[in-house]
Structures are given as C-alpha cells and as structure tokens.
Structure 1
Amino acid sequence: MAAKVTPAVNAAKAAGLSFRLLEYDYDPSADAIGLHAAAALGLDPAVVYKTLIAEIDGKRLVCAVIPAAARLDLKALAARAGGKRADLADPAAAERSSGFLVGGISPLGQRRPLPTFLDDAAAALPEIVVNGGRRGLQIALAPGDLARATRATVCPITAG
C-alpha cells in the first residue's frame, strides 16, 4: 500500500482529531466505491460515508458527505446551500477544487475547503468512515469531530 500521509490525514492531525486509518485494495471497476470500501473492510455500509462534490446554481461548489448506500437529494442540498438547483460537479472540477482524485476525495484537507454538508444520519453513530484522501485509504472518526473540523452543516440531504 502507498504512504498513509495525505492532506486529509494531515488536516485530521492538525485539527487534533482522534481517528483511525483503514486501508483496503481499491478496485477502480467498482460501481459504488463507498459500498466497495465497506465490503472490503468488513464494515456495515451504514457507517461508511461517501464524499460528493456538487455545483449550486451552476456557479459554486459544495461538499456533501452521505452514507455510501444513500442517494444525494439534490433539491435538499441546494436549499441548504442557499441555492435553487444542485447538480453533481464535473469530475475534473471536483478534482481541481479538492486536490484529490475521484474515488479518493475527502471532506478533510481539501485544496480549497468547500462549504460542507454532512447528512444528519451520522449524528446517531459513534463513528463514521470517510475517504482519507487517496483511493484505498479511509479515516474512521466521530461524526461530531468531522463536522467541527470541516465546519459542516449537519442536515438531511439524502433521498428517502
């Protein structure tokens, strides 16, 4: 496995967060990266969260962190972000903004920190797992710590 030092790991350390690193063999052909990570790590998919970059009103990017098995509610995200419309960002734009490759985008340590929205389902969990800043690396931490470190708004943003 590659080195465990990423901007996301460095950001977690700098914020004084208590966290664990988890590694798995990334499969670029997997349809659902978060679900693949959960299976590879032997974790309940409900605790593994994916990081999505979305564009609000075609103008600005935001970061959404939702359970791996869930679908992002674009209308709810747009409303929470103060916009009318949200779409998933172009992968190249997401990579440029975050500094991470798709499949390795973390809510922590982004090149340009984006307004972050964490699905409120996380609040009921003692620990969640998010991408660690490279494909095959995950960070397990308390959802409240993630919210504080990213200044996330905790709100319902998944489609029921």
Structure 2
Amino acid sequence: MPEHPAVVRVEAALVEAGVETQVVWLDGAAKTAVEAASALGISVGAIANSLVFLLDGEPALIMTSGAHRVDTAWLGERVGGEFSRADATTVKTATGQVIGGIAPVGHPAPLRTFVDEALAEFPEIWAAAGHAHTVFPLSFDELVRITGGTVTPVAPAASPAD
C-alpha cells in the first residue's frame, strides 16, 4: 500500500482512539460523496462527508451524510454562531489535509465538530482517511466518539443534496 503523511496521521489517530478499522486505498480519487459511494458500491447517504467551515471565524468540522447539504444559516442559528466558507488554505492549515480527502481525525488540533444525525441510519459509514484515494469504515457511534462531535441535523428536515 502507498503511504501518505496525512493518512499515516489518520491511522495513528484511529488506533489511539481504539477504532478497529482498516484504511482502504481506492483505485481512483473519491473527492465527492457520490464518487466514494460509487467506488464502494454503497448508498451515498452512508458517506460521512467532512466539510470545514468557519464558525465565528474559527475552523469547525461538519460531518454530514453524503445525501445532505448543510444549511449553514440554519445550523448557525441552531448552535448560536455564524458559519462561513473556509478557503483551501484554511482547510489545509486546520486539518493537515486537502479538500477531497479530509478525515474526521488526524488534525493538528481538535476541531469543534458537528455530526449529521442522519448518519445514524446506517450500521456502517465510510469517511475519508486523509487523502482523496482513501476511506475507512466505522459506526456512527464511533464517529461521534472519536470526533467529540455534537449530533445535530444539518438542515431543516435534512435537505437532500442536489
């Protein structure tokens, strides 16, 4: 298997958190939830999409079902803050990873994290592992535990993705 520094950090964080899983290297890049679901032969809803936004100017991670779009205005009202887009440099600095491969763990410092409650519908979910060619399976409860995330809807009635 190839090695990549971000993936090595993610694997170490998973071991440290006690998650028994294996990172899977995909033949092609899976930079979107649709691409990842297609490569794995699973529902797009079972993809735990890692999105970095700024919450009141600080990086925050939203783990959303690949089948949903985040309504940042609605979620901001729900959590008492204002979300805005994070640029690629901010994302890389906050996570140590690039857009399209952001894992829920393995970051230089913990990020305030919100986890889409819709992911609980799936017995197994898949998240990126630090590189656009990598994913790993875990349970919803494991995702919440390893991120310290707050479980919440990410939009009113969890708006489906376009």
TM-score normalised per structure 1: 0.88
Structure 1 CA distance for aligned equivalents of residues 46 and 62 of structure 2: 15
Does residue 38 (structure 1) correspond to residue 37 (structure 2)? The answer is: yes
Give the structure 2 partner of residue 137 of structure 1: 134
Q: How many residues align?
A: 155
**1:52-101 CA-partner distances (Å, limit 9, x unpaired):** 001123x1111001112321110233234430x21221111011110011
Gaps of 5+ in 2: none
Give the structure 1 partner of residue 95 of structure 2: 98
- 1:49-64 map, 5 Å: 49-57=48-56, 59-64=57-62
User: What's the offset of the Cα at 1:109?
Assistant: 1.2
**1:100-156 CA-partner distances (Å, limit 9, x unpaired):** 111111111111210110100112221110111111110100110111111000110
TM-score normalised per structure 2: 0.87
Identity of aligned residues (%): 31
Structure 2 CA distance for aligned equivalents of residues 23 and 70 of structure 1: 25
Q: Counterpart of 1:82 in structure 2: which amino acid?
A: G
Give the structure 2 partner of residue 2 of structure 1: 2
Q: Counterpart of 1:36 in structure 2: which amino acid?
A: E
Structure 1 CA distance for aligned equivalents of residues 22 and 10 of structure 2: 12
Structure 2 CA distance for aligned equivalents of residues 15 and 80 of structure 1: 29
Quick check: 1:76–1:156 contact (8 Å CA) kept in 2?
A: no
Give the structure 2 partner of residue 123 of structure 1: 120
Quick check: 1:52–1:88 contact (8 Å CA) kept in 2?
A: no
- Aligned with 1:94: secondary structure? helix
Structure 1 CA distance for aligned equivalents of residues 77 and 134 of structure 2: 32
Runs of 4+ residues deviating >4 angstroms? none
User: What's the offset of the Cα at 1:25?
Assistant: 2.7
Structure 1 CA distance for aligned equivalents of residues 24 and 77 of structure 2: 34
Structure 1 CA distance for aligned equivalents of residues 109 and 77 of structure 2: 22
Does residue 65 (structure 1) correspond to residue 63 (structure 2)? The answer is: yes
Q: Counterpart of 2:121 in structure 1: which amino acid?
A: A
User: What's the offset of the Cα at 1:17?
Assistant: 1.0
Structure 2 residue corresponding to 1:18, chosen from 20, 33, 47: 20
